[in-house]
């Protein structure tokens, strides 16, 4: 069997000392190695198929080049799975390996998972949730660099990233205003969660900026699913003067709104315009007509969380626990038109 190439083989091929090879392959900051020498060493390593020993490297650098990713139901949720992809891509590009644990929301399993990751000396942890809400992070995470993904830590002790719910709602309502609508309903979620309050605030602020008086009867709260959307739309249609457009809390509610509109003989977008939120792959582009909606930036949030975590791991002097709002872009399709005459 061929012997695995060693660091001294790389040094011999590149014509430099072993210590110089070690400095280059371990990306030692501040090392005085010319670009030409660095490239010669890297070329020699590639030609020989040399790979460093991660265990030896971790003993030397006191880092394992690994990140723990603890989530509740993210791995089993199709539209939130892009957070994992974004985190994994960012970690891989930085030379880190991502360890994923899906706890299903079970606190006992979560504690066990966090302890197992810490025992394996991960350099940092991403603590993620399936949807935007307030969370208490495990006390054990106080021993390691941590970033919260898609949630706000109740104690404000660590950095976090969440969607800009207010800005996304403003984009949705602004799209309806530009189409000429002035009587715009909002089918919202009845649960008290940050996404619901943020989207409601964006709805009110955008209408106020357009000098459209608030009308409480145009805001209807139901459960945030297809049935809830159907019920909310039905209540809005039963008003003395129905809205010409409806902004829905999410795409599932928009799907229920479509059904209610069809039962009333209302054609989208000719008689009624509809905008959703989430941009779920299995809903928004598949509805007829395809749904104009606001995308949740799951991939971008996953990427941001890992990059911020790496800054903490590398002893960034500005390790603030500040939160970051990730923009939610509008996705235009075919469900918005001018108001009916």
Domain boundaries, the chain: 7-61, 66-163+298-326, 165-296
Q: Which CATH class is domain 66-163+298-326?
A: alpha beta
Alpha-carbon span 233 to 226, nearest angstrom = 11
Identical fold between 7-61 and 66-163+298-326: no
The per-residue pLDDT for range 242-292, each reduced to its tens digit, is: 999 999 999 999 999 999 999 999 999 999 999 999 999 899 999 999 999
Reference 69, options 102, 24, 115, 21; nearest CA is: 102
Alpha-carbon span 64 to 19, nearest angstrom = 21
Q: What average pLDDT does the structure give for the chain?
A: 89
Architecture category of domain 7-61 in CATH: Orthogonal Bundle (1.10)
Reference 214, options 173, 249, 253, 178; nearest CA is: 173
Alpha-carbon span 46 to 135, nearest angstrom = 45
What pLDDT, on a 0 to 100 scale, did the predictor assign at position 278?
94
What pLDDT, on a 0 to 100 scale, did the predictor assign at position 317?
47
Look at the pTM and tell me if it is higher than 0.75: yes
The per-residue pLDDT for range 123-182, each reduced to its tens digit, is: 999 999 888 888 888 888 888 889 999 999 887 779 999 999 999 999 999 999 999 999
Range with the poorest average pLDDT among 75-84, 91-100, 212-221, 231-240: 75-84
What pLDDT, on a 0 to 100 scale, did the predictor assign at position 30?
66
Alpha-carbon span 183 to 171, nearest angstrom = 16
Reference 228, options 261, 202, 243, 250; nearest CA is: 250
What pLDDT, on a 0 to 100 scale, did the predictor assign at position 241?
94
The per-residue pLDDT for range 273-285, each reduced to its tens digit, is: 999 999 998 999 9
- Sign of torsion over alpha carbons 234, 240, 246, 247: negative
- Model confidence at 62, pLDDT cuts 50, 70, 90, reads low
CATH number assigned to the domain covering 165-296 = 3.40.50.2300
Range with the poorest average pLDDT among 73-77, 93-97, 292-296: 73-77
Alpha-carbon span 153 to 77, nearest angstrom = 22
């Amino acid at each position: 069997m061929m012997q695995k190439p060693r660091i001294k083989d790389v040094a011999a091929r590149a014509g430099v000392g072993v210590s110089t090879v070690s400095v280059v392959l371990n990306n030692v900051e501040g090392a005085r190695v010319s670009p030409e020498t660095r490239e010669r060493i890297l070329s020699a390593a590639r030609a020989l198929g040399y790979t460093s020993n991660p265990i030896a490297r971790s003993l030397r650098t006191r880092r394992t080049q690994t990140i723990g990713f603890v989530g509740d139901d993210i791995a089993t949720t199709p539209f939130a799975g892009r957070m994992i992809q974004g985190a994994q891509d960012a970690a891989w590009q930085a030379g880190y390996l991502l360890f994923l644990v899906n706890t299903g929301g079970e606190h006992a399993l979560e504690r066990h998972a966090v302890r197992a990751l810490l025992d394996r000396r991960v350099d940092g942890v991403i603590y993620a949730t399936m949807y935007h809400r307030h969370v208490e992070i495990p006390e054990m995470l106080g021993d390691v660099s941590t970033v919260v993904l898609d949630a706000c830590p109740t104690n404000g002790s660590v950095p976090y990233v969440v969607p800009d719910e207010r800005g996304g709602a403003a984009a949705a309502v602004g799209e309806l205003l530009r189409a000429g609508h002035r009587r715009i309903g909002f089918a919202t979620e009845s649960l008290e969660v940050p996404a619901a309050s943020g989207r409601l605030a964006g709805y009110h602020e955008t209408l106020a900026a357009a000098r459209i008086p608030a009308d409480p009867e145009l805001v209807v709260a139901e459960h945030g699913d297809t049935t809830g959307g159907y019920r909310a739309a039905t209540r809005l249609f039963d008003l003395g003067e129905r809205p010409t457009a409806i902004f829905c809390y999410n795409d599932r509610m928009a799907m229920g709104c479509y059904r209610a509109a069809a039962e009333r003989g209302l054609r989208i977008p000719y008689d009624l315009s509809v905008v959703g939120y989430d941009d779920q792959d299995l809903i928004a582009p598949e509805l007829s007509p395809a749904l104009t909606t606001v995308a949740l930036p799951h991939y971008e949030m996953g990427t941001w969380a890992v990059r911020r975590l790496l800054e903490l791991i590398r002893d960034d002097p500005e390790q603030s626990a500040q939160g970051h709002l990730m923009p939610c872009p509008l996705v235009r399709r075919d469900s918005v038109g001018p108001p009916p005459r």
